[in-house]
Structure 1
């Protein structure tokens, strides 16, 4: 009688021990268990900005798919590179992810980011781009981009423009345009787009080169938009031509993406890619993207990684052509 009772109990204990040991094996139940706790999402831009708004919207949708909260952690500074560095250095378990600006391809080569975007990140999704443009005050002597180019050709280095920092998308895009137009402009660097916008509104510079910070001011009649930089006209400002339309082979949309550290387990990567694929294509995210003039430009992780590699090569040539390292050394 006693033996009959002990045998099943002993078997039960052995089975429990084996199960516990199995749970300790690396990756044994990660596919079922991830995520089992909240996820940290590093946003490399200040709270309240357009990038922050779009990432919070996308994380809200993704959190419902993953059935875990996604906490947005703003780590602004160094043109987004402080946040990017934190993502690259995090533990590759899927619990620290974040927004990766495409400018990592440039700043890693300029020494502002101690990481190689080709091998130090796991790319999960490309999300959306930005709408860049050139804006002037309503009373500016430049009624069109054509007039500005003609004046700049006759007066090399006299036309000033404000941008958000040496080596950033607004600076590099504007210099690419100047090179294509055969003109020399006077670039004035600021510590961010808001300071550049304020000085343009105050008449201290001739033009502003920025993402859509100018949009409400254009709509209010406080600025005039000369051109946008996308592949196509932006719906909100459909009467404004693109640089490409005007004959300059320059397209700048600086798409952002979502990624994690390199070495993410394949099953965890798959879950995150699926969640953010759903989130990017949700009506909720698309509504926020439309409000901030951010065209949706979705790519799945592997395709986004290929895109990053292509951009890296283009940036190598651009850095040499524009002598960006020398400009950064001068400050």
Structure 2
């Protein structure tokens, strides 16, 4: 009895000593022992939300624990990104980290440094962005719109998913290349921007492929896409590059966690999302929403984030994004 008691006390003291020394006990080998929360920084129903829900369903089967999607929209994805950075690094709060964190951290709207405040788990897929108008629009082609915008600077309106986000910055980069001035109308996500475009409240929509089913049904007309090449689903629609504007935007999605994640927990999550990205279920959703697969493992994705951060520094200066953000 006394020997057992001595072993218990010794074990307890050893655990305390390890904890005091900052050494994690081997209990992390049991991870995950309860459901995981996945923060999606966009409203429910959008293309990003659809893809993240599917990838979480597959990863949950690998991890043998539910993954609950928590939509925390706002500030062009930065509300959710900040929540991820601020969470406890135990593997039970993870989420989608938009690549625009590299821009917003420099613009001062994200109180986190994407180069060191996240543990990156995977890059998953890109997005197909485009410019769409109603069938009744006088803009039959992008050339028509550019000519009209040159004749009436600042009069042509477009809806986008948030100031400083990929759709906003992509359109402003295009406007700079085209030598035109547009009137940007910001929304809290692409779903709201789409609805006002369909309702005729704005002249154009700049978004990822939320417009796709409406283009196919004839409710919208697609003027251009923003990829390096034409998207197979809309092969008759030219890219901005084809039309003479050297602008390419694909804004790949990433998955991450707070910095300080235990290495064995990080490895389990990286493996689970690697499997999920390559699953038939995720590939089917990615194809349906025109999201090209762009998988990178966590460490490689972190290198990509650092490289993108440096590119964004130059873009912010060239487009005068800080001034645009101040004007709202």
TM-score, structure 2 as length reference: 0.91
1:1-331 map, 5 Å: 25=18, 26-30=23-27, 32-331=29-328
Judged with a 3 Å threshold, the aligned counterparts in structure 2 of structure 1 residues 31 and 216 are, in CA distance, closer, same or farther, namely same
Q: What do the CA deviations read for 1:218-263 (whole angstroms, capped 9, x no partner)?
A: 1111111010111222222121111122222111111111101111
CA contact (8 A) 2:46 2:190 kept: no
**Structure showing greater Rg:** 1
Aligned position for 1:5: none
Whole-Å Cα distance in 2 between the matches of residues 196 and 73 of structure 1? 21
The CA distance in 1 between the partners of 2:5 and 2:129, in whole Å, is 65
- C-alpha displacement at 1:104, in angstroms? 0.9
2:120–2:255: 8 Å Cα contact kept in structure 1? yes
The unaligned stretches of length 5 or more in structure 1 are: 1-8
SS of corresponding position for 1:188: strand
Distance change (3 Å), C-alpha of 1:275 and 1:247: same
Q: Distance in 2 between matches of 1:58 and 1:101?
A: 16
> In structure 2, what is the Cα distance between the partners aligned to 1:33 and 1:204?
53
Aligned counterparts of 1:42 and 1:303: Cα–Cα separation in 2: 22
Structure 2 residue ranges without an equivalent (≥5): none
Q: TM-score, normalised by structure 1?
A: 0.90
Q: Secondary structure at the residue paired with 1:236?
A: helix
Is 2:210–2:289's contact at 8 Å kept on the other side of the alignment? no
Q: Number of paired residues?
A: 323
1:162–1:32 CA distance, 2 compared to 1 (3 A): closer
User: Following TM superposition, by how much is the alpha carbon of 1:17 offset from its aligned partner in structure 2, in angstroms?
Assistant: 6.1
**Does structure 1 retain, via aligned residues, the 8 Å contact 2:76–2:163?**
no
